[in-house]
């Protein structure tokens, strides 16, 4: 069964708002949402990366840049590194059983979320 267009619009819109608001979207919103509607881990990851290609983030980046909140040398360096290493990641992902990919994805999200929440909590109190 193919999910409806409205589901994809909702996922994209929600990820877009959170991406512009707090810098999350692909791995934290889009991938889990696609997994919940039946995509495989590789399909969810590939689709999320396709969503995040240059035109999607361009509008938000331009606004952040206009406000002086983009470090271009850092962004360019990380973009090049990201592109090269993502290619290696895809080659590796094709060799790992899908259930293991999903398990490691879940663990990574929990660890990262726990670290960020703990650091914020420490500063709040």
Residue 55 or residue 73, greater confidence = 73
Q: How confident is the model at residue 110 (pLDDT cuts 50, 70, 90)?
A: very high
Q: Which of 60, 37, 50 is nearest to 90 (CA)?
A: 50
Whether the per-residue pLDDT at 54 is higher than 70: the answer is: no
Whether the per-residue pLDDT at 47 is higher than 90: the answer is: no
C-alpha neighbours within 13 Å on the C-beta side of residue 79: 10
Q: What is the mean pLDDT of the chain?
A: 86
Whether the per-residue pLDDT at 56 is higher than 70: the answer is: no
Q: Which residues contact 48 (CB under 8 A, 6 or more apart)?
A: 26, 27, 30, 31, 34
Whether the per-residue pLDDT at 66 is higher than 90: the answer is: yes
Residue 66 or residue 105, greater confidence = 66
- Whole-number percent of the chain with pLDDT over 90: 21
Q: Which tens digit of pLDDT belongs to each residue from 113-125?
A: 898 899 999 999 8
């Amino acid at each position: 069964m193919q999910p409806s267009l409205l589901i994809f619009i909702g996922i994209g819109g929600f990820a877009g708002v959170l991406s512009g608001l707090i810098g999350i979207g692909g791995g934290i919103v889009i991938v889990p949402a696609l997994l919940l509607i039946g995509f495989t881990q590789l399909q969810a990851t590939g689709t999320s990366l396709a969503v995040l290609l240059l035109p999607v983030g361009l509008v938000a980046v331009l606004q952040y840049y206009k406000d002086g909140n983009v470090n271009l040398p850092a962004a360019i360096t990380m973009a090049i590194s990201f592109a090269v290493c993502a290619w290696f990641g895809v080659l590796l992902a094709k060799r790992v059983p899908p259930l293991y990919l999903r398990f490691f994805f879940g663990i990574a999200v929990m660890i990262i979320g726990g670290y960020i929440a703990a650091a914020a909590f420490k500063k709040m109190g």
